[in-house]
Structure 1
Amino acid sequence: MIGIIIITIILISVAVLLTVNFFYIIFQGYAPFIITRDKILNIILNHISFKDSNIIYELGSGKAGFLRAIEKKYPQIKKLIGIEYFFLPYFLSRIQLSLIKSNIKILNKNIFNTNFAEADVIYCYLNNGMMGKLKEKFRKECKRGAQIISYQFPLPNLTPVKVVDIEDEGKDKVYFYKM
């Protein structure tokens, strides 16, 4: 009987979290939880170079796929930070990262309340609305030379230094910017 009550409480909690996430996505313009495929991550990593001292952010990090790919390919980079607003992906990624003893740090916070002054590289797979809101934030906060990488959604009215068309993926593009 107690087991049924506990399972019911867990299921109701998950349903509430998913409902709240859904309403944030629909009514506040937040990006849904969609991961970047490994193939795309490899293409991105082949188009950028890193220094050991780089501070790298992934916005809307979900499972932190971009940061995991960097940690795997460049284990010497020690400051990898994911920002995830929604609790469920944040919580799951924290558990997964702790199980593999990762150095990636995941923060449960709003990207608009995060200061990017120390960032050398910022990766985004968000949506058009979010990128439009982030453009001015990046311009104000990012240091000169900081790289912004966006999969699928460009920063409006900013010219990227490079656009990579993903072959065999239809209209997929990766946008690379320097602030």
Structure 2
Amino acid sequence: MGKVPYIPSSYTAVRNALELAKVGRGDVLYDLGAGDGRAVIEAARRGALAVAVEIDPSFSALISLKAREAGLDDRIIVLEEDFFNTYLGFATVIYQYLYPSISRKLALKYSKELRKGTRIIAYNLPIPGWIPVKIYRFIDENGAVSTHYLYIKGISDPSSWILKHETIPPINTEYVMNIARD
């Protein structure tokens, strides 16, 4: 897919996202396009296993260094790869700050790979075609108004809206005609 520009989430945004998704022990958070690793560091501090998916080798090295310095390298995994090539099925939480065109493509991947109940936090840019279960607006430390969109796989995704029904057996027209005559 290639690189996307690095635009870091504010520290306030990261803290608010993790609060909104209730990230803690037992969670596995994937940060797609992890940048400098601020979301995975904070998630690991809260007890989650955090996976930084970052294609840029400079940022991957920086995240590894920060994880060691914080004493969290046992709780942070750095995958230096394109997130479109990363299996996401182990995630309980996804954090993303990505353009809608990329989110649209990722939504197909989410539908195939994520388990029901997986929480997805989209920072400032919603996932096209998905319905958030919560929208949270806040002012960050720079005075910017920001928005988090919380999605839950199995509720927010269009594939969960399809009505599932059993096949209706064919009508026995002879039986119906006999009843109608009586």
TM-score tier after normalising by the smaller chain length: 0.7 to 0.9
**Size of the alignment, in residue pairs?**
148
Partner of residue 61, structure 2: 91
Within a 5 Å distance, the mapping from 1:1-179 to structure 2 comes to: 30-72=3-45, 74-75=46-47, 77=48, 79-102=49-72, 103-167=75-139, 168-170=143-145, 172-179=146-153
What is the CA–CA distance in structure 1 between the aligned matches of 2:124 and 2:77, rounded to whole Å? 25
Partner of residue 165, structure 2: none
What is the CA–CA distance in structure 2 between the aligned matches of 1:50 and 1:152, rounded to whole Å? 19
Partner of residue 175, structure 2: none
RMSD over aligned Cα atoms = 1.7
Partner of residue 168, structure 2: none
What is the CA–CA distance in structure 1 between the aligned matches of 2:36 and 2:64, rounded to whole Å? 8
TM-score (structure 2 length as normaliser): 0.75
Listed as ranges, the gaps of 5+ residues in structure 2 are 154-182
- Which deviates further from its counterpart, 62-71 or 110-119? 62-71
> How far is 1:95 from its partner?
2.1
> How far is 1:30 from its partner?
3.6
Listed as ranges, the gaps of 5+ residues in structure 1 are 1-27
Deviations 1:140-169 (A, max 9, x none): 110000001010111101101111112352
What is the CA–CA distance in structure 2 between the aligned matches of 1:161 and 1:41, rounded to whole Å? 19
Amino-acid identity (%) = 25
TM-score (structure 1 length as normaliser): 0.76
What is the CA–CA distance in structure 2 between the aligned matches of 1:69 and 1:148, rounded to whole Å? 16
1:166 alignment partner, SS class: strand
Give the partner amino acid of 1:169. A
> How far is 1:64 from its partner?
1.3
Give the partner amino acid of 1:104. I
What is the CA–CA distance in structure 2 between the aligned matches of 1:45 and 1:111, rounded to whole Å? 20
- Which deviates further from its counterpart, 153-162 or 87-96? 87-96
> How far is 1:48 from its partner?
2.4
Residues 123 and 149 in structure 1, CA contact (< 8 A), matched pair in contact too: yes
2:84 alignment partner, SS class: helix
Name the structure with the higher helix share.
Answer: 1
